[in-house]
Amino acid sequence: MDFMTLTVQAGVNGLVIGMMYMLMAVGFTLVFGIMRIVNFAHGEFYMIGSLVAFYTFAQWEVPFVLTLVLAAVCVGLIGMVVEWLVIRPLRSDELTGMIATLGISVVLQNAVLMFFGASPRAIPDVVEGSLHVGPVVFTWSRLLVIAAAAVIVGGFWLFMQKHKLGRAMRAVAQDQEAALIQGISVDRIFPLAFGISVALAAVAGALMAPVFAVSPFVGTTPMLKAFIVVILGGLGSIPGAILGGLLLGLIESYGATMLGSVVADILQLALVIGILLIRPSGLLGHREA
């Protein structure tokens, strides 16, 4: 394989990974921006989304588009219940709330481990075959991930900018007290924001299920990478999460292709450290007063 073909192939793989990181990071930063907590269970909601894809698409042969909808709705509702039962009583103490999400992570992972088992299981490709452009080969399944993730993030962006609830979420993220004065119910916004956040993680898990094997531990790496992306893009910045996810995915793919996976991980962390030294608030983050 010549250098140009290798470069293009690595770029497409980087976009696939970057789209997954982007979906994870957008949900992750949504919760932080509105609720001011770091959701350490975010990876487990990704994992549950991949399980939904395994059973609905691979086992019951549900159409994949409907599978994505089911993953988002089911996990979103679970997230709203978790916010109501666990996070809401601890809302006054952000540190305790973050520790609680770590406990939720352990509970969900071990519950799935008992039910599903530890062995990874594969899911067939959503679309068979590949697209040949000269010597470069693109599998339709990976191109589907790129297209679907772009549409989902675009829809989420429009929701946040144009819809009444999206604007209410932005208002709460900027100033809770001012939002309350304007008649926005924080008790309504918090569970909705948490549900949308974990629904995005679940969709990422369902999209990537045919690419990676499904297991109770499949959400660990995406969770860690999402945290890096959020720091890279700027805490609470959704555009920063989008930019950071794509950037990290491309660096990981090109680094692993050209230099090896170990060097790629070092490059990612070196990039984050370098950017934070120059811009402590991240690429598109803002310093808080």
Domain assignment of residue 165, yes or no = yes
Distance CA 138, CA 159 (A): 31
Structural domain contains residue 106: yes
Which pLDDT does position 4 carry in this prediction?
83
Range of the domain at 222: 3-278
Report DSSP state, residue 152.
Answer: H
Q: What is the pTM of this model?
A: 0.94
Helices 42-53, 186-208: crossing angle, 10 deg rounding: 50
pLDDT number for residue 3: 77
By the 8 A CB rule, do 80 and 94 touch? no
**285 domain-assigned:** no
Instruction: State the pLDDT at residue 285.
Output: 78
Report the relative pairing of strands 136-139 and 130-133 from DSSP bridges: antiparallel
For residues 62, 66, 70, 76, the Cα torsion angle rounded to the nearest 10 degrees is 160
Return the pLDDT at 92: 80
Tell me whether residue 44 is in a domain. yes
Number of domains making up the chain: 1
User: How far is it, in rounded angstroms, from Cα 152 to Cα 259?
Assistant: 32
184, 171 contact by CB (below 8 A)? yes
Would you say residue 283 lies in a domain? no
Spans in the chain with pLDDT lower than 70: 1, 286-289
Contact between residue 40 and residue 105 where contact means Cβ atoms under 8 Å apart: yes
Residues 124-157: b if buried by 16+ CB within 10 A, e if exposed = eebeeeeeeeeebebbebbbbbbebbeebbeebe
Q: What is the pLDDT of residues 174-201, one digit of tens each?
A: 888 889 888 899 889 999 999 999 999 9
The Cβ of residue 217 has, within 10 Å, a number of other Cβ atoms equal to: 14
Extract the tokens encoding 288: 């808080």
What is residue 91's predicted lDDT score, i.e. its pLDDT? 84
Give how far Cα 282 sits from Cα of 50, 106, 185, Å: 30, 29, 30
CATH of the domain at 110: 1.10.3470
